[in-house]
Chains A and B, each alone.
Chain A
Amino acid sequence: MSVESAADSREAEGSGSSAAGSVAVDDVVEMYRRMARIRGFEQAASKLYADTEVPGFVHLSIGQEATAVGACWHLRDDDAITSTHRGHGHCLAKGLDMTEMFAELMGREGGTCSGRGGSMHIADPRLGILGANGIVGAGLPIITGAGTAAQIRGDGGVAVGFFGDGAVAQGMFHESVNLAAVWDLPVVFFCENNHYSEFSREEDQHRAGLALRAVGYGVRYESVDGNDVVAVAELMQRLVGELRAGAGPVIVEADTYRWHGHYEGDPIRYREAEELAAWKLRDPLVVARARLADLGVDAAVAMSIDREVDEEVRAAIDEARRSPFPDPASLLDFVWVEEDDTPEREPEQGEVFKTMDAVREALTFELEHDPTVFVAGIDVGRGGNVFGLTRGLAERFPGRVRDTPISETAIVGGAVGAAMAGMRPVVEVMYMDFIGVCLDALMNQAAKLRFMTGGKASLPLVVRTQFGAGRSSGSQHSQSLEALLAHIPGLTVVMPSDPVETYGLLRSAIRSPNPVVFVENRLQYGMKAPRPNADHLIPLGKARIVRPGRDVTVVTWSRMLQEVLAAATEVAADGIEVEVVDLRTIAPFDRAAVLESLQRTRRLLIAHEAVMDFGVGAEIAALAANEGFWHLDAPVVRVAPQAMPAPYSPALEKAWLPDRAVVADALRRLMEVGTR
């Protein structure tokens, strides 16, 4: 019987009789088996790690088996869970294959994630397992997104986010619970309180318990004996049923204990042996055996299960060992989804529209044509976005254009979870400068989860944001941070340069199977151009030649393109023919287009609005110095602001930000360099 069908029958029946009166005897037997499997798996994993057959890090949950089994007991396959770095039990309880898990820990091709994730990153979205996670608390924004997906679909889906008491101190916890409360999401925030945050005692980490915190968020709170699987399952039966019927989030605190150290090899100098011995008297397996005895089940049943589990574990390890290690030729698999694009067509020339119209119309088109698309962000709903870009969309698409709290981590992390749960979220980070607030969701989650799951997770999400220097917005509202994002493998970074580009590229970004950061320049929202045909698409990863020329190539993007085009016109009067390349997609960028242009002109200038040092221009210059070395007749020149925070004073900002005059001057000097 699958986990899902078992859950369905349990929900339907509510039959049989346990000591507490609501869990059937056979169910308690099966709960014991599942806990024994977790115990057997983790004891074996501990030995395999000690024998160096499992590399990396291993964090075990021995002693906490009842929370995993009890919490997942009433979940369907399509209900989502997120786990922690201590996630073997959750994955087994949700139905993951033991052999594949052993193979994953061993780093083998037959592993759950083809050996790409390891112990801390096991996931299988097909079973609703949205991942163990190596970042404490990072599963909580993700489960909030899964709850959002379930709410939008309206299929009664439930999401359960496991976390430890240590995660409560993370900002991610606060933002996630608050967002779930505001949106009434069907999420159980399930705290396995094992009383230790890695090496530190609970009392040294918090001054308020979860019950008090729940009041602060306006969500329900439930506590339960986390070592009694029946008690946990009974609580979850009630809560899951309420959430399926439309109730909002709840915080559950399960009292339990971690027998092993924070990680295998931890010398555990921070707690006394007597404490562990006392908790072992409340071993979840012992408690379950007592439950079985109360129900009149012979002790031989549990002993028989133990023997069967031992044999299953042995067989699983043998089978896992037969799986080969991944072929080094497959090294780059799963980083990006790569597929051929439809060739770009010339857009039709309609009535004049603005960049801000392009954003709204691209969003509208995709919302209309794909029910999995939704939009979320600060003030994007009722307020219609700070620049009016989403005005009217919330009324037109109820429930799918959502205002969020000022919580960038929950916004972007939620997008990750919603994408893994089958949606195509388009979320907004109001200013690019705020990326720093939610970098984990981009860097460690969105960019890596496809790779770490061996391609099982899909991350079709868009993070729209905007930037723009030149209007005295100051150092925290002007930055062009594309290099920061482009350095993260797995992210696609797009920066359009005009209204038509914005429309075609944004639609392609929303349709992309990869996570895309879409960076608009707010100084261009009022820029006008003829409106393209509604089905106009521009492939990602392809640069375009905006102006052909024979003497020098200028590679640029976003608003700086307009400055470069003006400079090219200016120097044309001097007989200098400039070829202007608009990069459009910053990462992964169109290397061939740059090299081909350089081959024609033999000179290269790169112009961008981000500060020069360690920027995208440096990467393009490196391309020219290496693969394009044979074509160069002159040094590669970068035109970009000097490395310093964007100044506030207009006088300083003007001195800092290069314009068309600076570009034109650089072009003239570059053309003075003679050939060898």
Chain B
Amino acid sequence: MRVQRAPRAADQPQRAPEGLVRHDRAPAVPTPAAGPAPARSADGTGAFSADVDLDLTALAGRSPEDLFAEVVVRLLTACHREGLVDVGSALRVVTPTDGGFAGVRVDGAVDRSAPGLSAVLGAPGTELPPADAGTLTVVDARGSRTRAQGDWGLGGGLGVATLGRVGSAVVSSRRPAGLVLGERLGAGLGLTVPDAARAAQVVRALDAVARSLEGPVG
């Protein structure tokens, strides 16, 4: 007799088995908001970058730190589902400074919750943490007007993501009662990976992040 055991608490909730993630609601090609832009080439030999315009209106009540952590957790979840990171991957969160970059490194980041990650990021470092081949770097560029693109010269590792400036805009929408105005909170999210052969995964991951933020957020 071989005993089949329930998964440990640390191994729950379960990840979807391969092939069981339903992509049927996702488009086969990126939405207009997700604009793939080959950094060098699309032949699978160089790096690949894409960025997406996130609608963060559902997170408008969150503190800046919690909002950032929420986006990063959703990015990690999407990247994990696409195989761009794994459970053991580390996360490096950096901010541009006058002298370059400074930030913190978080191991085992994929299983962290947004509040948990926010707590860790609450004490930023003063130096650029090292990155190895299993590290995904996230550049917190919210304080910059720079577009959320590129690898910022931080290449190596699994890739470099950038969350750009969070800005609000007045938008109109049509309701049964007529045209109404509202405020939309948005930010750009970019992701660069060193291998263009993973372009499709990058696009799907960014698209998943954008979709996960549509509508009410728990």
Which A residues fall within an 8 A CB radius of B? 332, 335-341, 492, 512, 514, 539-541, 585, 588-592, 622-623, 626-627, 629-631
Instruction: Report chain A residues within 8 Å CB of B16.
Output: 630
B5–A541 CB distance below 8 A: no
CA distance A585 to B12 in the complex (A): 25
* Among B1, B2, B3, B14, contact of A627 (Cβ-Cβ < 8 Å): B14
Contact with A along B1-41 (1 / 0, CB 8 A): 11111110000111011001000000000000000000000
Within the assembled complex, what's the spacing in Å between the Cα atoms of A588 and B3? Answer: 6
Contact A339 B1 (CB under 8 A): yes
Contact B5 A588 (CB under 8 A): yes
Closest A residue to B12 by CB, please name it: A626
**Quick check: A338 and B5 within 8 Å, CB to CB?**
no
B170 to chain A, nearest CB (A): 35
In contact, B4 and A590 (Cβ under 8 angstroms)? yes
* A338 close to B4 (CB less than 8 A): no
For residue B3, which residues in chain A have a CB less than 8 angstroms away from its CB? 335-336, 338, 541, 588
> Which size bracket describes the interface of B in this complex?
10 to 19
Least Cβ distance of B6 to chain A in Å?
7
- Which of B4, B6, B13, B14 has the most chain A CB atoms closer than 10 A to its own CB? B4
Identify B1's interface contact among A332, A341, A591, A592, CB under 8 A. Answer: A341
**Could you give 6 example pairs across A and B, Cβ below 8 Å?**
A335-B3, A338-B1, A492-B1, A541-B2, A627-B14, A629-B14
Contact B4 A592 (CB under 8 A): yes
Name the residue on A nearest B3 (C-beta). A588
* Minimum CB distance partner of B14 in chain A: A627
- What residues on B are CB-neighbors of A627 within 8 Å? 7, 14
Q: A626-B7, A627-B7, A630-B20 are in contact. Are A338 and B14 (CB under 8 A)?
A: no
Contact partner of A626 among B1, B2, B5, B14, CB < 8 A? Answer: B14
> Which 3 pairs from chain A and chain B are nearest by CB?
A541-B1, A591-B4, A588-B3
- CB-based nearest A residue for B19: A630
Q: Given the complex of chains A and B, what is the CA–CA distance between A336 and B12 in angstroms?
A: 24
Known: A626-B7, A627-B7, A630-B20. A588 touches B1 (CB 8 A): yes
Q: Chain A: which residue is nearest B2 at the CB level?
A: A338
Nearest-neighbor residue (CB-CB) of A627 within chain B: B14
Residues of A within 8 A of B1 (CB): 336-339, 341, 492, 512, 514, 539-541, 585, 588
The reply to whether A623 and B6 form a contact with Cβ atoms under 8 Å apart is yes
Minimum CB distance partner of A335 in chain B: B3
Cβ A541 vs Cβ B4 within 8 A: yes
In the complex, A669→B101 CA distance in Å?
60
| Residues of A with C-beta under 8 A to B20 | 630-631
Instruction: State whether B5 touches A332 (Cβ < 8 A).
Output: yes
Q: Give A622 to B13 CA distance when docked, in angstroms.
A: 12
CB of B35 to closest CB in A, whole Å: 31
Residues of B within 8 A of A336 (CB): 1, 3
Q: Which residues of A contact B6 (CB under 8 A)?
A: 591, 622-623, 626
Select the residue from A337, A588, A631 with max chain B CB neighbours within 10 A: A588
Query: What is the CA–CA distance of A70 and B7 in the complex, to the nearest angstrom?
Result: 50
CB distance from A514 to the nearest CB of B (A): 7
> Which chain B residues lie closer than 8 Å to A591 at the CB level?
4, 6
